[in-house]
Chains A and B, each alone.
Chain A
Amino acid sequence: GAVVSQHPSRVICKSGTSVKIECRSLDFQATTMFWYRQFPKQSLMLMATSNEGSKATYEQGVEKDKFLINHASLTLSTLTVTSAHPEDSSFYICSAGGTSSYNEQFFGPGTRLTVL
C-alpha cells in the first residue's frame, strides 16, 4: 500500500508556542489529505480536509485560525497548531486518499503533541 509519513512523531512544547506537523505522501500524489485528532480512548475526530492548492475545509468547531493547514504540493500538507495550550495535547494523525475521500485512506504514523 501507499506510504504516508509524519514528522515529528512526538513533540513537547511550552504553552503559547506554535508547533508545525508535516504529512507527506511518499510514493503517490495526494490531492486530498485529512487531519484527525484523537484523544485517549476516543475515536478519530476529523479536523479538516486539506486540498492541494486551495484552502482547507474545517469541520464544525475547529478553529481555522488556531489550526493552520497548508497543502502546497501534491505530496505535502502541514498542520500548525498556533499558540498551543495544554488542552491541545493530543494525537494528531494525517491521512491521504487520492482523489476522493471514499477511497482507502492511508494513515501517517501520527504525532503525539504534549503542551506543558
Chain B
Amino acid sequence: QKEVEQNSGPLSVPEGAIASLNCTYSDRVSQSFFWYRQYSGKSPELIMSIYSNGDKEDGRFTAQLNKASQYVSLLIRDSQPSDSATYLCALLGGADGLTFGKGTHLIIQP
C-alpha cells in the first residue's frame, strides 16, 4: 500500500518569500514523483516532475528528491498571490495510476 503524506496546512507565506512544501512517502520502489497545483474548483495541473535524487529547477520552482529519506519537496521562489492553491504530491510506483497526497493549502499573503 503506497502512502503519501503532506501537511494539510494552511501554509501562509508573505509575497516575495520562498514557500517550502514537503512530502514523505512509504513505498521504497517508487521511481517517479510529481507536484500538481490545484486551484479551488479546478482540476490538478502538473507543474514539476522529478525522477532522480537531487534538485530540479524550472523557473521559480525547484523540486528536491531524496529517495533514501523517502522525501520530496517543492520550493517556490519569489512567491506570488497567484501561487495560492493546493499543492498535491504524487508518486508512480508501478503499472497503475498515481498515488496522491491530500495536498497542502498554500496562501501567499500580499
A-B interaction: no
B residues near A (Cβ < 8 Å) are none
A residues near B (Cβ < 8 Å) are none
